[in-house]
């Protein structure tokens, strides 16, 4: 019985290490700085994009071109398990446009 518990605890611990924490998934930006008009779009972006990588990956990419963002998000959408639907693309792209414009303006 103790052996089973030890194995279960080890497996649970390994699973927790493999899953990124909420902090790791949202690294790169304080969500509280998102303006009210962009929060719904941010929520879709954060939920879908953090499934596969940290948000910092896209936020710190240096991409500011909307056409490139469209190509990038489309490529990510086709990744197995991304969970990004065609309907999700618009809110994700709106958020990335807003964020890119904010970065261009200096912050």
Q: For helices 39-49 and 86-104, give the axis angle rounded to 10 degrees.
A: 110
Query: Which pLDDT score, from 0 to 100, does residue 30 have?
Result: 81
pLDDT at 68 > cutoff 90: yes
Reply yes or no on whether the pLDDT at 37 is more than 90. yes
| Cα–Cα dist 48/96, whole Å | 13
Residue 27 zone, left/alpha/beta (φ > 0; ψ -120 to 50; rest): beta
Task: State yes or no: pLDDT of 24 exceeds 80.
Answer: no
Contacts of 88 (CB under 8 A, 6+ apart): 44, 48, 77
Residues 6+ apart with CB under 8 A from 31: 42, 46
CATH topology of domain 21-104: Cytochrome Bc1 Complex; Chain D, domain 2 (1.10.760)
Residue 107: pLDDT band with limits 50, 70, 90: low
Structure tokens at 80: 């197995």
What is the chain's mean pLDDT, rounded? Answer: 80
Between CA 78 and CA 85, with CA 82 as vertex, the angle to 5 degrees is 70
Mean pLDDT, rounded, for 72-101: 95
């Amino acid at each position: 019985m103790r052996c089973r518990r030890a194995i279960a605890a080890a497996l649970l611990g390994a699973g927790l290490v493999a899953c990124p924490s909420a902090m790791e998934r949202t690294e790169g930006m304080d969500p509280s700085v998102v303006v009210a008009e962009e929060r719904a779009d941010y929520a879709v972006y954060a939920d879908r994009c953090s499934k596969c990588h940290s948000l910092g990956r896209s936020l710190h990419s240096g991409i500011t071109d909307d056409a490139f963002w469209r190509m990038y998000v489309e490529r990510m959408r086709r990744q197995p398990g991304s969970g990004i639907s065609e309907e999700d693309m618009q809110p994700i792209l709106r958020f990335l446009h807003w964020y890119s414009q904010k970065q261009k303006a200096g912050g």
